[in-house]
Every structure is written in structure tokens, then in C-alpha cells.
Amino acid sequence: MSNKQQHPNLLTQGVFIFVYLAVLTALEFFVAVTFNSVVILVAVALVKAALVLWYYMHVNKLSESDESNHEAYAYKSGTNRLGLWLFLVSDSFVFGGLMVMRLSLLGMTRPDLSQTLGFFVTAVLLISSFFMNRGEVELHNGNRQGFLRNTMVTFVLGLFFLLGVILVEWHTVPAIAEPILHLFGEPEGKPLLKASSGPAGAAFFMMTGMHAFHVLTGLILLLIIWVNGKKGLYDEKQYPVEAAAVYWHFIDVVWIFFYPALYLIGTAV
Amino acid sequence: MKNNSLGRAFLLLVIAGAIGYGIGLGIDFSIRGELKLSASVPSAFALLFSFTAFFFGLYGYRGITRGLVFQVVGTVIGAALVTGIRALMGLESIGAFLFTEPAWVFGALVGVISFFFGVGVMTDWVKWARGIDTPDHHEDEPGWQKYFGVSLDHKVIGIQYTVTALFLLAVGGTFALIFRTELAASGLDFLTLDLDVFNQNGPQLYNTLMSLHGMIMIVSILLGISGIMNYVVPLLVGAHDMAFPRMNAFAYWVAVPASVLLLLALILGGFDTGWTGYPPLSSRAPLGVQMFFLGVFTAGWSSILGALNVIATVVRMRARGMTAMRMPILVWASVATSIIALTATQLIGLSFQLVMFQRLFGMGFFDPGKGGNPVLFQHLFWFYSHPAVYVFVLPGLGVISELLPVFVRKPLFGYRWVAMSSLGIALVGFVVWAHHMFTSGMNEYLRVPFMYSTMLVAVPTGVKFFSWVATMWGGKIETPTPMLFVLGSIVVFLLGGVTGPPNAMVALDLHLHDTYWVVGHFHDTIFGGFVFPFFAAIYYWFPKATGRKMNEFWGKVHFWLMTPSFFALTLGMMFIGLRGMRRRIVDYDPALGFDGAHLFLTVCAFLIAISILIFFINFFRSIKHGEPATGNTWNSRSPEWQVPSPMPAHNYEVPFEVVGEPYDYGLPGSKFVEFAAKTAGKH
Ligand code: HEM
Ligand SMILES: [Cu+2]
């Protein structure tokens, strides 16, 4: 492994990327609440996605392969990596279709939701991606405890995001949702967004629902690598951890586009 | 296959069917309070019980039998769960089909997932999740038994796909014969209004059969091309298996519960939307439409995961020396197909899912009353379903290019152009979908760009035709059965191809749309692009799989009976279509004067059915009684024919290296592959 000595740098790099992402997210929010330029919002989302794809998901690893021995673990991992990325490409078409649906039904309007709450859950998911990256790098560096700790933090943040969407945003348990929504500045007695009430509700529940389903599967993968990591696996064969991490970041990339689509662009209806 | 186990299987099928029917009847009676023999619930029970018992008799309680048992139990548990929750919430808990619609949908979903665990495709993955390693290869049991359980061998899976595709072809074909009979004369009314089977009267049943014919055939095609690609692609590229053998098995086994759901759609009230399932009709159709949506959604995963595997296999597992421009054309075609299947399939899944949710949760995606837009459905749907036609035909066109040089003993003309044309068709195919929507009320400014993009497809398709003609030009054409089907494909696909551009002309299509003209057109493309090449591929690679040849005489009878009947059928369809025959209707006005033509078409349809029956008998007889053929039966240059048939479990015992062009037939001294052992001293 020739790039072993670079790994400490990767930890610092992860921090830098996170700072960029955080600044961009704040910028996005600011643009949305002030002059709401769709062009800027789309551009920011593209930059954020590119950062995650390149630095957290290592899309460039796809092109490196060791052609010599087809039975070697490295070669097989390369094949698995290609398989995973092909799956993500396929999955993107679902989310792309949902985006088309949203744009077609809602155009330049958006569901009337608390923008601050949206910002908050987005931040939670973004931070989870940061810890995921850290966990992966720690494992490469041979620091199993660090890997387990960071993966657990990722898991908890992911769970937090999922519960935030399902319990609060979906208003499934009013006793929990009401006080939190209030905290985020939602006026009392505001009419609830319902799946069956109109295009905004339909689009919102469908998009967050499909995303939440992916978060759920991602959480299951995180749990699997955490438990197996605790058992002492992944000393040599680390591809499963990479796969779970890439999948987790992919969920974040989807949200990088869904967040402005649902919370930021256009005017609330 | 042992005769006594087959006999036992059929006996159990009848007994279990009767028992299931009796149970269903009892349940139905207790809800309805009257005895109704042709109701849905008893028939559904009879279907599921008899299927399961049949495989039990054949194979015992494992593999597919266990999967089906799990599916049935899972469905009932899932449905009961929803029913219980609904009862607690004070909602209606019993529906016309025993369970309510949400209960059926959830139950069906649980049933599909249960099937995977029952059949055993999840076993290794569950172990991996628990941190347990499993061996790379699993040894299959010898004999026919391995086909009824999970096997990781791509050749076994390829045959499983092929046989399932043939089964669905027979089912969909039977449906077609039923509704073709209804059309034989105007006012025939053999499916009468007082008929009451599966909660449907005669005309409703007509619609259900017509709709299911379409979708079952499409699923059959998807499985058929997967069969060809699975069996042949790893052999052509020199891999010992597909890149992801477990996912390969999974992709196949997904198709089985999906097929069960499609059959359930017929029994649970049917649906009248055609295979396209457009809302608003599909948001009001009977329960069957939900089973249809879920079945298609599930089958779609088979296609997506299979495609992923093909791409990964071709990218990562090619033999030494097989550069991109030395890959066999069928491999190129498989990659092009897989690119479409991998991506676009998600959109039909999504569009169907949205209608399901619209029905279940009142989400108004396509309901104008709730601010939705029905035309949006058509865009999402056709974004897959037009490219899908290239998924259907590209492997078939690849088979034509693959086999033609073998039987004319000449190099393939314009290799590079043919290789690229598959990709070209696939890519242009992504931007033509709205040609199905010229009459839909979509924005008018979209019509002209889609008209031109559609016409553009003719360019890469034309490249293929030029190549085929030039390859045949001056060749020594031999015509054993596979070659007959190849020649048939070319002619039939040509007819399909030249009848396409008129549909692409907006001004013409406004008149042609939804007439029998279109029906004739697409049957030509599908037969030319899939059915004929599929048969060619089966006749051609049968010896590779079994070590025996299919009977030549009956193969020729099959061809010479099917081809003229098929021409007469589609030309007849186009003829009445141009004169105003509408598609998707159960009866027509005798004043149109189409009675004679329709009777003729029905006769043609039966002749085709007879020819395919002959094929089936030939197929199953030849497995045991065919003429032995263990060598290079067709005198091919392709690597799989350089080793004895049937192919051993892990393919090539010694790897080969590609040292020349794939199709240089007739060029003295040219070589395509060299096997390592033979050249050991050379390097
Ligand atoms: C390559 C194989 C092809 C297949 C498998 C195929 C299949 C089909 C199918 C299934 C339909 C019926 C749509 C419906 O439900 O109404 C259809 C219609 C149509 N086809 Fe093709 N097609 C093929 C090639 C072409 C080509 C080469 C063209 C034009 C250059 C074309 C143009 C059209 C158009 C415009 C329609 C719409 C007609 C209408 O709905 O009124 N097709 N095709
Ligand atoms: Cu089309």
C-alpha cells in the first residue's frame, strides 16, 4: 500500500471538505431567504455534490485497477466498486424521476415548510457524512477504535435525521412534532401538509419517503459494519466498509439536491 | 427427468388445486354468504396451492417449492397484519377479494420478500452481513434438479431464464389465442356479458387478457434476453462466471414471484388499462392493477440487476487480448442493452409506484382534481418504455450479427460500425419517448423535435441492415434451422423497421395512433428483433448446453409454418388498421367489413401457436433424444465451440487469449482465440 503515509493527511482533508460544505450550505440558506436565485442554488448544489463525490466517495478510485491477477482481493474489490457505482447510477434515475415529478407539478413553488428546520436536518446529515469519512480513514490507518467510534456517531446522526423527518416533518406523532415545530418558529394552528392534500404534499411525502427509505437501508449497512468491526473483521478486507461509506455519502448527495428542491427554491404555497 | 416424479407432480397439482379451491370457496362463502364457483378467492388459492404442490412433487420441499410456500405464507401474514391494524383503527377490514386493497398490496410485497428467503438466494448475503465468509463457488447437484433451486452457475441461470421465458411465452400466447378467438367475427360474444369469472364479465376479461398478454410477453422478452446474455456473454468473453454470481441468481429468482403476481392480477379482478397502465383509468381499475404494478415493479429489478451484472462482467472479466474492438458483436449489444435496462427501468418502476401510492394514500400525482397531471405519467412511463423496445431487440440484433458470418462463411461486414451502432441506437433511444404521446395533449412544441429524433434512430439501425446484406453478399449461405431464423429475423425486422417512420410523422401518427396498424408494426419489430433471434439462439446454442442437437426436420417445420403465418398476421393487422380498425376493443361494427380479415388473422394466430407447440415438443424431446453433438457443431470460430459440449461447470479449463479478429471467416490462417495449453511452448 503505497499511499499509507498519506492517510493522516486524509483526516485533515476531510475536515477541510466539511468546512467547505458547511459554508456552502450556509450560503445556500442565505441566498434562499434573501434573493432566492435558482441559478445560484443549483450551482451551489452542484459544487457540494462534486465535493462529496470526489473527496468523500472517491469516484476516482473507479479508474484505478490492478489488472494482473483477477483472483486478488484488490481486483475483486475493484469489480465490486464498479458494481456499487452502477447501482448508484441506476438509483439516481429514481431520484431524478422524482425531481422531474416535483418540477412538473410544483414548478417554481415549494411546500410551505419551516426553512430553519430544513436547514437543521440537512446539517445533521452533512455532519454524519463527515464522521463517516473519518471512520473510513481511521480504519485505513489501522485505528479500529476510531473507526468504531466515528461509525457509531454517523449512525446516531443518521437515526436522528430519520426520526426528524418521520416524526416531526411528517407529523406522525403530533405530541413530539408540535413542540419541535414550534421551537423552529412554526406558528400554532398552521394547516398541516398532508400526502393527500395536493401536489405539494404528494411531492414532499414521496421525495422524503423515498429518501428516508434509503437512509433506513444505509443505517442497516452502518450497523452491519459496526457489529462486524467490533468482532474484529476488516483488518485486511476493508471493502465492505468502503461500500457502506460510499452508499451513505450517496444518500447525502441525494439530499444535497432534494433539500433546495423542497425547502429553498421558489415561493412557498 | 424421471417420469414418476413428473407424474407425481401432476397428481399433486390436481389434488392441491382442489384442496386450495375448497378452502378458498369456504372462505369466500363465509364472507359473501353465497356460494360462487368462479369467484376470485377460491381460484387464487387453487392457483397458489397447485403451483406449490407441483414443484413439491417434482423436487421436494426445497428451492422453488420452499420459495413459493414462503411467498404464500408471507402474503397471508402481511395481509393479515394490515387487516388487523385496519380493524383496530376502525377501518374497513374485509374487501371483495377477502382482503382490502392495502392489505393485498402489503401482503404481496411481504410475500415477494419472503420468497427470496424461502428459495435461499439470501443465505450467503445474510452470512456476509453476520461476518461469515462463504466459498466463492457452490457445487451444483448433477442432473435436472439443479434447475429448481438456487444455483450460482451462469449457465444454469441462463437456462432457468430461458425456460421461464418460454413458459411465459406460452402463457401470454394462450391469452392471445383466447382474445383472438373473440375477435374472429363481429358480434361473436364468446366472452359474454353474463360471464362472471374472477369478478369480471366477458368484455372485462377480454381487457384483462389483452393487457396481461402485453405485459407477460414483455416480461418473457426480458427474461429471454437475460437467458441469452447470461448463458453466452461469460462464454464469449472467457470468464468463469458472471461478475456477481449471487446477484445473478437473485436477479433470476426475482422474476418468479413477479410472475406469480402477474398471474394473480388476472384472478384478483383483472384490469382494463392495457400494458401501459395510464391513469386516470388505472387509478380506478380493479384490484388486479395493483398486482400488475407490483409484479412489473418486481420484474424490473430482475432486469436492472441482471444488466448491472452484464456490464461489470464485460468490463472486468474479459480474456486476455480481448480489446473493445475485438469483442464479439453480441457482447457489444448486451452492453448497450444493459445500459438502458440499468437506468431507464427505474422510471417505469417509479411511474407505477406513483400510481400505486395515488390509489393507496390518495396522493394526487396524476389526479387533476388534486393538482396532478396525467400526462406526467406518460412521460415517466415512456422514458423507459420506448428505450425498452431497444432492450428487447438489441440482443436479438446482436445474435443476428453473431450467427450470420458463421453460416455465410464470410467476415462480418463493417465490424466497427456494427459495434458502435448498438450503442448509437441505445443512446438515441433515450431521446425519442414522446413519439408515443403525439395525441396525448402534451405541449405541441415538443412534437417536432421528437419526430426528428425518432427518425434519427433509422440511421444506426440502417447500419446494421447494410452490414447484414453486405455480409451475405456473395457468401456460401448454408441454411440449417438457426440460420433460417436469422434470415427470418432480418426480413421481419425490416418490415417492422419500415413501418416505424410513418408512426414517427406527427401528421400521420395522429391517424395511425391506437389503430391495428401500430399493433402490426410493433409485432414485426418484436418478432424480428426478439422472437426470431431468440429461436435462432436456442437452436444454435442448444448443443452447447445439452450436448445434443434439436431435430432439424421439426425445426424447419417450425420455421416454415411460423414465418408465412406471421407475415400474413401482421400485414393483415396493418391493412385493417389503415382502414380504421381500433386497437384494444373487444368487438367491432360489422359494417366496417373486417369480419373476413379478422377470421383470417385468427387462423394465422392459431397456425403460429401450432408452430410454437412443435418447437416446444422438439425442445423437450431433444434434451434426451436429440442427435449427439459434442463438437464444433456449426464450425464456428467462437471460443465456446472450441471446447467439447456440454460446457463444464466452471467453463474453460484452460484460459484462452484473443489473437485475432472475431469474424474473419474464410480468411486462410486467421485465428480468433488461442488456448493457453496449446501455446505453452510458444511464448
Ligand atoms: C426497434 C424495434 C422497435 C420496437 C420493439 C417497437 C415497438 C413499438 C411498440 C410496442 C409500439 C406501440 C406503442 C403503443 O402502445 O401504442 C410502437 C409504436 C411506435 N413505434 Fe415502434 N418499435 C420499434 C421501432 C421503431 C422505429 C424504428 C420507429 C421509427 C423510426 C418506431 C416508431 C414508433 C412510433 C412513432 C410509435 C407510436 C405509434 C403510436 O402510438 O401511434 N418504432 N413501437
Ligand atoms: Cu417508441
Choosing among A91, A206, A247, which should be mutated to test the B contact, i.e. which has the most B CBs within 10 A? A206
- Cα–Cα distance measured from residue B494 to residue B268, given in angstroms and rounded to the nearest whole number: 40
Indicate whether this complex's ipTM tops 0.85: yes
A14 CB within 8 Å of a chain B CB? no
Q: Can you tell me the mean pLDDT for B448-476?
A: 93
B678 by DSSP, 3-state: which? coil
> Are A111 and A264 within 8 A, CB to CB?
no
Atom of ligand 1 nearest to the CA of B497: 27
Q: What confidence score (pLDDT) does residue B29 get?
A: 87
Q: What confidence score (pLDDT) does residue B302 get?
A: 96
Q: Which amino acid is at B145?
A: Q
- Cα–Cα distance measured from residue A226 to residue A138, given in angstroms and rounded to the nearest whole number: 13
Query: pLDDT by residue (tens digit) across B587-645?
Result: 999 999 999 999 999 999 999 999 999 999 999 999 999 999 999 999 999 999 999 99
Asked if the model's pLDDT at residue A4 lies above 50, the reply is no
Find the CATH number of the domain harbouring B598.
1.20.210.10
CA of B583 to the centre of ligand 1 (A): 14
B180 by DSSP, 3-state: which? helix
Total number of domains in chain B: 1
Whether residue B376 and residue A101 make contact (CB cut-off 8 A), yes or no, is yes
- Cα–Cα distance measured from residue B165 to residue B221, given in angstroms and rounded to the nearest whole number: 7
Could you please report the per-residue DSSP string of A60-125?
GGGG----S-TTSHHHHHHHHHHHHHHHHHHHHHHHHHHHHHHHHHHTTEE----HHHHHHHHHHH
Q: What residues make up the domain containing B440? A: 146-628
A34 CB within 8 Å of a chain B CB? no
Asked if the model's pLDDT at residue A215 lies above 80, the reply is yes
Whether residue A199 and residue B349 make contact (CB cut-off 8 A), yes or no, is no
CA of B340 to the centre of ligand 2 (A): 14
Give the percent of chain B with pLDDT over 70. Answer: 99
Q: What confidence score (pLDDT) does residue A8 get?
A: 62
From B124, B271, B279, select the one nearest B212 (Cα to Cα): B271
What distance separates the 2 farthest-apart alpha carbons in chain B? 84
Confidence of residue B93 (pLDDT cuts 50, 70, 90): confident
Count Cα atoms within 13 angstroms, Cβ side, for B403. 32
Whether residue B363 and residue A201 make contact (CB cut-off 8 A), yes or no, is yes
The DSSP secondary-structure symbol of B642 reads: G
Q: What confidence score (pLDDT) does residue B677 get?
A: 67
From B42, B47, B1, B52, select the one nearest B22 (Cα to Cα): B42
Among the listed ranges A253-267, B138-152, B157-171, which one has the minimum average pLDDT value? B138-152
The answer to the question of residue B26 being in a domain is no
> What is the Cα Rg of chain A in Å?
20
- Ligand approaching nearest to the C-alpha of B382: 2
Cell of B588: 367491432
The answer to the question of residue B55 being in a domain is no
Closest-CA distance of chain B to residue A26, Å: 32
Whether residue B380 and residue A93 make contact (CB cut-off 8 A), yes or no, is no
Cell of B571: 400485414
Count other C-beta atoms under 10 Å from residue A42's C-beta: 14
Cell of B271: 384490469
Chain A residues 70-129 within an 8 A CB cutoff of chain B: 70, 75, 78-79, 82-83, 86-87, 89-91, 93-94, 97-98, 100-101, 104-105
Chain B CB contacts of A87 below 8 Å: 308
Contacts with B595 (C-beta within 8 Å, 6 or more apart), sequence order: B185, B186
Q: Which among A97, A101, A105 has CB closest to B346?
A: A97
Cα angle value A105/A109/A112 (rounded, 5°) = 110
Query: pLDDT by residue (tens digit) across B640-682?
Result: 999 999 998 889 989 999 999 999 998 888 899 999 865 444 3
Choosing among A68, A79, A89, A93, which should be mutated to test the B contact, i.e. which has the most B CBs within 10 A? A93
Q: Distance of CA A200 to CAs A3, A128, A185, A193, Å?
A: 49, 28, 21, 8
Q: Which residue of chain A is at minimal alpha-carbon distance from B316?
A: A79
Cell of A149: 467510534
Chain B CB contacts of A211 below 8 Å: none
Q: Can you tell me the mean pLDDT for A10-25?
A: 93
Q: What confidence score (pLDDT) does residue A3 get?
A: 44
Chain A CB contacts of B130 below 8 Å: 228
Whether residue B347 and residue A97 make contact (CB cut-off 8 A), yes or no, is yes
- Ligand approaching nearest to the C-alpha of B501: 1
CA of B195 to the centre of ligand 1 (A): 35
Task: List pocket residues of ligand 1, CB cut-off 6 Å.
Answer: B 276, 389, 392-393, 435-436, 454-455, 457-458, 461, 497, 500-501, 503-504, 509, 512-513, 518, 521-522, 525-526, 529
Q: Which amino acid is at A267?
A: T
Whether residue A231 and residue B131 make contact (CB cut-off 8 A), yes or no, is yes
Q: What confidence score (pLDDT) does residue A66 get?
A: 65
B344 CB within 8 Å of a chain A CB? yes
Asked if the model's pLDDT at residue B333 lies above 50, the reply is yes
Q: Distance of CA B203 to CAs A17, B2, B592, B602, Å?
A: 63, 43, 20, 18
Pocket test for ligand 1, best of B503, B509, B530 (most atoms within 8 A of CB): B503
Q: What confidence score (pLDDT) does residue A1 get?
A: 39
A191 CB within 8 Å of a chain B CB? no
B311 CB within 8 Å of a chain A CB? yes
Confidence of residue B190 (pLDDT cuts 50, 70, 90): confident
Pocket test for ligand 1, best of B211, B389, B430, B495 (most atoms within 8 A of CB): B389
What length does chain A have? Answer: 269
B657 by DSSP, 3-state: which? strand
Whether residue B363 and residue A202 make contact (CB cut-off 8 A), yes or no, is yes
Confidence of residue A65 (pLDDT cuts 50, 70, 90): low
Whether residue A105 and residue B372 make contact (CB cut-off 8 A), yes or no, is yes
3-state secondary structure A114-130: CHHHHHHHHHHHHHHHH
Choosing among B361, B442, B650, which should be mutated to test the A contact, i.e. which has the most A CBs within 10 A? B361
**Average pLDDT over chain B, rounded to an integer:** 93
Asked if the model's pLDDT at residue B76 lies above 60, the reply is yes
Q: Can you tell me the mean pLDDT for B347-352?
A: 96
Asked if the model's pLDDT at residue B397 lies above 70, the reply is yes
Q: What confidence score (pLDDT) does residue A138 get?
A: 93
Backbone φ and ψ of A77, nearest 5°: -65, -35
CA of B421 to the centre of ligand 2 (A): 18
Q: Can you tell me the mean pLDDT for A234-260?
A: 95
Q: What confidence score (pLDDT) does residue B266 get?
A: 94
The answer to the question of residue B58 being in a domain is no
Atom of ligand 1 nearest to the CA of B275: 15
* Atom 42 of ligand 1, residue of closest alpha carbon: B500
Choosing among B250, B351, B355, B363, which should be mutated to test the A contact, i.e. which has the most A CBs within 10 A? B363
Q: What confidence score (pLDDT) does residue B489 get?
A: 97
Q: What confidence score (pLDDT) does residue B414 get?
A: 93
CA of B432 to the centre of ligand 2 (A): 7
Whether residue B342 and residue A86 make contact (CB cut-off 8 A), yes or no, is yes
Closest-CA distance of chain B to residue A11, Å: 27
Chain B CB contacts of A89 below 8 Å: 342-343
Confidence of residue A2 (pLDDT cuts 50, 70, 90): very low
> Are B12 and B56 within 8 A, CB to CB?
yes
Q: What confidence score (pLDDT) does residue B378 get?
A: 95
* Atom 8 of ligand 1, residue of closest alpha carbon: B522
Asked if the model's pLDDT at residue B245 lies above 80, the reply is yes
CA of B492 to the centre of ligand 2 (A): 18
The answer to the question of residue B88 being in a domain is no
Closest-CA distance of chain B to residue A94, Å: 6
From B65, B491, B109, select the one nearest B301 (Cα to Cα): B109
Total number of domains in chain A: 1
Atom of ligand 1 nearest to the CA of B515: 41
Closest-CA distance of chain B to residue A217, Å: 13
Find the CATH number of the domain harbouring A206.
1.20.120.80
Query: pLDDT by residue (tens digit) across B485-542?
Result: 999 999 999 999 999 999 999 999 999 999 999 999 999 999 999 999 999 999 999 9
Whether residue B373 and residue A105 make contact (CB cut-off 8 A), yes or no, is yes
Q: What residues make up the domain containing A162? A: 3-268
Q: What confidence score (pLDDT) does residue A129 get?
A: 96
Beta strands in chain A (DSSP E): 109-110, 267-268
B658 by DSSP, 3-state: which? strand
Whether residue B372 and residue A199 make contact (CB cut-off 8 A), yes or no, is yes
Asked if the model's pLDDT at residue A67 lies above 80, the reply is no
